[in-house]
Chains A and B, each alone.
Chain A
Amino acid sequence: MGKGTYLGEFEQMVLLAIVRLEENAYGMTIRQDIQGRTDRSVTIGSIYAALERLTAKKYLKSAVSGPEPIRGGRTKRTYRLTSAGEKALAHSRLMMEKMAEGLALDDLGAA
């Protein structure tokens, strides 16, 4: 994996949310999952921006399902990781762990 293909923090969150949501990963649920876990305000626009980037990097594939009444008759696009996406996510996590190895991060007040 060459340089420049690393994943940003937000991209990692999106990928992790999709993994967790399994079959039910789409814009709203991803947004709710991230907002719920990180307690930070996330807009639907930023979710779709990240989804587009990750799809362009071929880390995600998506499928469109038919309109539902609760969505005002609009379609829904669900997302899944590709194998490249799984590798990239694993790689990024590994890199971060390696960087953090042996450091007493608690002292930094990150928690």
Chain B
Amino acid sequence: MTAATNHRPPLFFTWLVRAVTPAQDTDCAIGDLHEEFQRLLLHGMPLSDARKWYRHQSVGSIGPNIRRRLRGNRAAPAPPKRKLPMFSSIAQDARLAIRGLLKQPTYSITVIGLLTLGIAGNAAVFCVFNGLFLRPLPFPEPERIVNLDETAPRWNVDFAGMNYVDFLNWRENNSTFESMAVHNQREANLTTDDEPVRINGARVTHDMAAVLGIHPVLGRFFTAQEDQPNAERVAMLGYGLWQGRYGGDPKILGRSITLDGIPFTVVGVLPHEAEFISEAELWIPLAQDPNQRAGSFWLNGIGRLKHGVTIEQAREDLTRIHKNAIEQRPMNEVTSPVVLPVLQRILGDYRLGTTAMLGAVGLVLLIACINIAGIMLARSLTRGREVAIRLALGAGRGRVVQQHLTESLVLSAVGATLGTALGLGGTAAFRAMAVNGLPAWVQFGFDVRVLGFVVALTVGAAIIFGMVPALGAARSDAAGTLQSTTTRISTTRARTRALDLLVVGEITLSVILLVAAGLTVRDFQALKNVDPGFAPENVLMYEVSLPAVSYQDERMRLSFFETYLERIRALPGVESAAGIDFPPLQGHNATHFEIEDAPPEDPDAPRPATSVRVATSDYIETMGITLVGGRSFVPEDGRDEGSNVAIINETFARRYWPDENPLGKRIRAGSHGQWQTIIGVTRDVKDYGLDTETLQGVYWPFPGHVRSALAVVLRTTVPPDGLVGPARDVLHDMDPSLPMANVATMATVLDESLWVRKGASRISAAFSLIALLMAVGGIYGVVSYRVNQRTKEIGIQMALGAQPGEVLGQVLKHGALIVGVGVVLGIAGAYGAGKILASVLVDANSHDPIVYGIVVGILVAATVAANMLPARRAAAVQPAEVLRGD
């Protein structure tokens, strides 16, 4: 035996060897190094060299030992069928997590409930978003289908509609489209053997099917010959109409149906997707004579781009063709082609709202995640012992993180499954809210995109709410936690601070959501209070359309409507009755007017279009529109040249006679024809919705401008619904073949015109309420938790003479600090978000101090309440009991 020197090898490097060497060899390996170190010194090596040798040995041993650990005991006889270690450990973790979660039902249900709520909102809104914007249209290569239109900035019209002559020019000369077509919606009275019905039909050019790429389920589409003026009259039925009205009878081909009194031969049946065109269920050829309506913009265009052609190239192509024709068609100077992705044109209005909603539900889910992270963090503090034991027994920290995340993932997956089911139910509610029904091609169902979204949400949520506690757990100091409870206070401080930060974040997000919801609701309220310019209460409205075959000339139509209105006025409960071609909120005709003796206008100056409505006498009174000057129509107006009169609205009056009385001035449509004397000026009517500007407008008297279809308007002294039956009886008595179409009260029409905003305000209110509840719950949880943790400290304070009031104040002060910081940050965030919101809102001030005030008030009240309960519990602490307890 050799004696050892008094020198010891470097301590750190001994520790290093101990750290890297597998347990079974640690002692021997360190012993070997120690021995050799001593022998080197005994052989006369300088101490510094020996220490250098020792350092070299220990550092050099790191590599082989790590390789050795990674290799494991691979060389040992392998146990049969080993799974990959990672997966087997995840499966093990999942089993462990499920077992653990079942043992704590309250915790699990709380977390899953929060997730379900959060994910349900997201799934529902995403389904809607997906159905509207992501799901491809049910046509082959839908990305090649574009909307065609014309724009006329100088007339103040973004989308003028397409002109037939322009269409023929484009179709003939373009090099970028495979096919293009135009269509025009047209309602018609369809008469078969039984009661006549009003149906949605469309006139289409024969290329329509080629553009969409659809094929008839029965028969054929129209031929080019059938699309000529005065061609044989043929029709195609929609699938729904064919099934519903003709029992799906295949013998329908070749049969004759009557539309507005004219017989048409059925040549085919189109599939459901064809309803995409004008929402129609019946189609007839456009058969337009290019010489008629040559100056009108009245058609909807659609085209299919050639392969590889971009929208920009198509627009350039059409613009070149369009502008080349300026010589023959001077109007083309003003108008330009519009080529847009087909969905953008149809759904443009919804995109912003839906995206904003997606943002809102995202915030709700984020709040839910923060809440769950808080719950988990609080729980991990009490669970610290378990983790510490696992760490002490040699579990790797990565393994601890993995176990925590697996548990989060299990929770998240359960929440996602329930949430998705709930969300799909929610889309049904959304569909029900769309009063006019959504087109058949819009589907909100579950598909692979929704699945991908939900899976991403699930994993994302699990990472967001699981990562903080998981990392916290892995960082925990095993030895410290396993020692006495007193040392634990310091190790938990960092995590309580993390909890506080989570709550601050939660309050911040809630403030943003609440402010956004407050602004939306207030905007909607403000909109409801906008004066529509007419009195919608007690007004019944429906449409009556006279077929051209049985009412061939104007006199017959005029006499029919005059007699009908006279008989309606005689009904008990009717105060007054009148007719109009385009009632408020139901579209318009527009044209340009010339003012008598007006100085010639600069040809390049903007020339906004004027809406033209044809109304019978009594219309202004019946609709409750206020006259600001002159008189309304009397039955004699418009019957001869002497009574060629017009009524204008205030916008029109303001534009042309800002400082003069317009009464007695003369105007005319276009640049020829009869001058019309202005006899009255009305208040502006919100003809296009409460959130839209009114155009300058003109009313013409019905006898001078007879229409074949009118909306009949009744002002009643009894509930208007009661008059539907009597009014129908009168109509049936005069002509049994005439249906009453689109029966509604004016109040309903007005209400329904707001459905998008109404829905948005309700949904955002619901979301922000959920967010508020979550935030309050989160604050309550965290403050309670802190009080529980500090019970002992509070007990000591009180034993040392602190008053309950002071303790209460202390707890509340901390709560107030968290809420205060959260509210300030939230207001800053909302202020920023208000800029985005401002683009969606009509007229509510996006920085409305009242909304901010109410939100802050609600939050402060709610959070004080959430703080109060635990604070009172703290103040009620009995010091003696607490101090005995440990």
A residues contacting B by CB (< 8 A) are 26-28, 31-32, 41, 43-46, 48-49, 51-53, 56-57, 64, 67-72, 74-77
Q: Which of B28-36, B195-203, B611-619 makes up part of the contact surface?
A: B28-36
Taking a contact as CB atoms under 8 Å apart, the answer to whether B32 and A28 are in contact is yes
Query: Chain A nearest CB: distance from B428 CB in Å?
Result: 64
Q: Given the complex, which residues of A lie within 8 Å of B65, measured CB to CB?
A: 45, 48-49
With an 8 Å Cβ cutoff, the count of chain B residues facing the other chain is: 35
Which of A46, A48, A69 has its CB near the most chain B CB atoms (within 10 A)?
A: A48
Bound-state Cα–Cα, A26 to B34, Å: 13
Q: Could you list 15 further interchain pairs (A-B, Cβ under 8 angstroms) beyond the known A49-B65, A57-B75?
A: A27-B29, A31-B32, A44-B32, A45-B20, A45-B21, A45-B63, A45-B68, A46-B60, A48-B21, A48-B64, A56-B76, A68-B1, A71-B32, A72-B30, A74-B34
Q: How far is the CB of B834 from chain A (nearest CB, A)?
A: 64
| Cβ–Cβ contact B31 & A75, under 8 A | yes
The chain A residue with its CB closest to the CB of B36 is: A28
* Residue from B22, B28, B30 whose CB has the most chain A CB atoms within 10 Å: B28
Complex contacts, A45 vs chain B, CB 8 Å = 17, 20-21, 29, 57, 60-65, 68
Q: Which residues of A are found within 8 Å of B22, using beta-carbon distances?
A: 52
Decide if A28 touches B75 in the complex (CB within 8 Å). no
Are B61's CB and A68's CB within 8 A? no
Chain B nearest Cβ from A41, distance in angstroms: 7
Cα distance A45–B68 in the bound complex, in angstroms: 9
Residue B848 lies at the interface, judged by CB distance under 8 Å to chain A: no
Judged by a CB distance under 8 angstroms, whether B385 is at the interface is no
Q: CB distance B35 to A77 under 8 Å?
A: no
Chain A residue contacts of B31, Cβ below 8 A = 27, 67-68, 71-72, 74-76
Are A56 and B64 in touch, CB under 8 angstroms?
Answer: no
B21 & A27 in contact (Cβ 8 Å cutoff)? no
Q: Which of B1-50 contact A (CB under 8 A)?
A: 1-4, 8, 17, 20-22, 25, 27-36, 38-39
> Considering only CB atoms, which chain B residue lies closest to A73 in the complex?
B31
B62–A76 touching, CB < 8 Å: no
A-B contact pairs, 24 of them (CB 8 A): A26-B32, A27-B29, A31-B36, A32-B36, A43-B64, A44-B33, A44-B61, A45-B29, A45-B57, A45-B65, A46-B64, A48-B68, A49-B67, A51-B25, A53-B75, A56-B73, A70-B39, A71-B31, A71-B34, A71-B35, A72-B30, A72-B34, A74-B28, A77-B28
Least CB distance, B6 to chain A, in whole angstroms: 12
A43 touches B61 (CB 8 A): yes
Q: Are B4 and A44 in contact (CB under 8 A)?
A: no
Whose C-beta in chain A lies nearest to the C-beta of B5? A70
Which residues on the B side are within 8 Å of A44 (C-beta)?
17, 29, 32-33, 57, 61
Closest CB in chain B relative to A58 CB, distance in Å: 10
Given A48-B29, A76-B28, the answer on whether A69 and B3 have CB atoms closer than 8 Å is yes
CB-CB < 8 A to A71: which residues of B?
Answer: 31-32, 34-35
Question: For residue A51, which residue of chain B has the nearest CB?
Answer: B25
Q: A27-B32, A45-B21, A77-B28 in contact; A70/B3 too (CB < 8 A)?
A: yes
Residues of A within 8 A of B2 (CB): 70
Question: Contacts A52-B68, A70-B2; is A75 near B28 (CB within 8 Å)?
Answer: yes
B15 smallest CB distance to A (angstroms): 13
Cα distance A49–B21 in the bound complex, in angstroms: 9
Q: Measured between C-beta atoms, what is the minimum distance from A74 to chain B in Å?
A: 3
CB distance from A56 to the nearest CB of B (A): 4
Which residue of the partner chain B has the closest CB to A27? B32
Alpha-carbon separation in the docked complex, A76 to B35 (Å):
10
State A52–B34 Cα separation when bound (angstroms): 20
Q: Which of B73-112 contact A (CB under 8 A)?
A: 73, 75-76
Interface residues of B in 608-645 (CB under 8 A from A): none
Contact yes or no, B3 A46, CB < 8 A: no
Q: How far is the CB of A98 from chain B (nearest CB, A)?
A: 25
* B9 closest partner in A (C-beta): A72
Contact B35 A68 (CB under 8 A): yes
> B654 → chain A, closest Cβ, in Å?
94
Cα(A76)–Cα(B4), bound, Å: 16
B823 to chain A, nearest CB (A): 59
Shortest Cβ distance from B26 into chain A, in angstroms? 9
Report how far A56 CA is from B20 CA in the complex, Å: 20
Q: In whole angstroms, how far apart are the Cα atoms of A111 and B32 in the complex?
A: 32
A75 / chain B contacts, CB cutoff of 8 Å: 27-28, 31
Chain B residues near A52 (CB-CB < 8 A):
22, 25, 68
Report the minimum CB–CB distance from B770 to chain A (whole Å): 58
Please tell me which one of the listed residues A28, A41, A57 contacts residue B35 in the complex, with CB atoms under 8 A apart: A28
Task: State in angstroms the CA–CA spacing of A26 and B631 once bound together.
Answer: 120
Minimum CB–CB distance for A108 against chain B, Å: 28
B75 to chain A: closest residue by CB: A56
Q: Once bound together, how far apart are the Cα atoms of A32 and B40, in whole Å?
A: 12
Report the minimal beta-carbon distance from A53 to chain B, rounded to whole angstroms: 5
On chain B, the residues within 8 Å of A67 by CB distance are 31
Residues of the B chain whose Cβ atoms lie less than 8 Å from the Cβ of A28: 32-33, 35-36
CA distance A49 to B17 in the complex (A): 13
Query: Which residues of B are found within 8 Å of A72, using beta-carbon distances?
Result: 4, 8, 30-31, 34-35
Alpha-carbon separation in the docked complex, A52 to B68 (Å): 9
Return A1 CB to nearest CB of chain B, in Å: 15
CB distance from B172 to the nearest CB of A (A): 79
Q: Which of B21, B38, B60 is A70 in contact with, Cβ under 8 Å?
A: B38
Assembly CA distance A52 to B656 (angstroms): 102
User: How near does chain A come to B432, taking the closest CB pair, in angstroms?
Assistant: 70
> Which residues of the other chain, A, contact B36 by a CB distance below 8 angstroms?
28, 31-32
Q: Which residues of B contact A70 (CB under 8 A)?
A: 1-4, 34-35, 38-39
Q: Which 6 A-B pairs have the closest CB atoms?
A: A45-B61, A74-B31, A43-B60, A27-B32, A71-B31, A46-B64
> Taking CB as reference atom, which chain B residue is nearest A48?
B25
Nearest B residue to A53 by beta-carbon distance? Answer: B75
Q: A residues within 8 A CB of B29?
A: 27, 44-45, 48
Which chain B residues in 711-750 approach chain A with CB under 8 Å? none
Complex Cα distance, B28 from A106, in Å, reads: 40
List chain B residues, Cβ under 8 A from A76.
28, 31-32
Q: What distance in Å separates the Cβ of B232 from its nearest Cβ neighbour in chain A?
A: 87
- Measured in the bound complex, the distance between the Cα atoms of B34 and A41 in whole Å is 18
Residues of A within 8 A of B21 (CB): 45, 48
B332 to chain A, nearest CB (A): 85
Q: How far is the CB of B3 from chain A (nearest CB, A)?
A: 7
Identity of the chain A residue whose Cβ is nearest the Cβ of B59 in the assembled complex: A43
Q: A48 CA to B67 CA in the complex, in Å? A: 12
Q: How far is the CA of A70 from the CA of B67 in the complex (A)?
A: 30
Q: How far is the CA of A32 from the CA of B64 in the complex (A)?
A: 17
**Which one of B2, B32, B57, B73 has the greatest number of beta carbons of chain A within 10 Å?**
B32
The closest CB in chain A to the CB of B34 belongs to A72
Q: In the complex the two chains form, what is the Cα distance from A26 to B31 in whole Å? A: 11
Find chain B residues with CB under 8 A from A27 CB.
28-29, 31-32
CA–CA, A44 to B73, complex, Å?
A: 19
In the bound complex, residues from chain B placing their C-beta under 8 Å from that of A48 are 21, 25, 28-29, 61, 64-65, 68
Given A43-B64, A56-B76, answer yes or no on A26-B28 (Cβ-Cβ < 8 Å): yes
Residues of chain B lying within 8 A (CB to CB) of residue A56: 73, 75-76
Task: Give Cα distance in the complex from A65 to B71, angstroms.
Answer: 28
Which of A27, A64, A68, A75 lies at the interface centre, i.e. has the most chain B CB atoms within 10 A of its CB?
A27
Q: How far is the CB of A5 from chain B (nearest CB, A)?
A: 10
Complex-state Cα separation, A49 to B845, whole angstroms: 74
Measured CB to CB, the closest approach of chain B to A85, in angstroms, equals: 14
Q: Closest approach, in angstroms, between the C-beta of A6 and any C-beta of chain B?
A: 13
Chain A nearest CB, measured from B23 CB (Å): 12
**Residues of B close to A41: CB separation below 8 A:** 56, 60
Q: Which of B22, B34, B35, B57 has the most CB of A within 10 A?
A: B35
- Distance A52 CA – B64 CA, assembled complex (angstroms): 12
Q: B874 → chain A, closest Cβ, in Å?
A: 54
B68 in contact with A43 (CB, 8 Å): no
Q: Once the chains are docked, how many angstroms separate the CA of A28 from the CA of B2?
A: 15
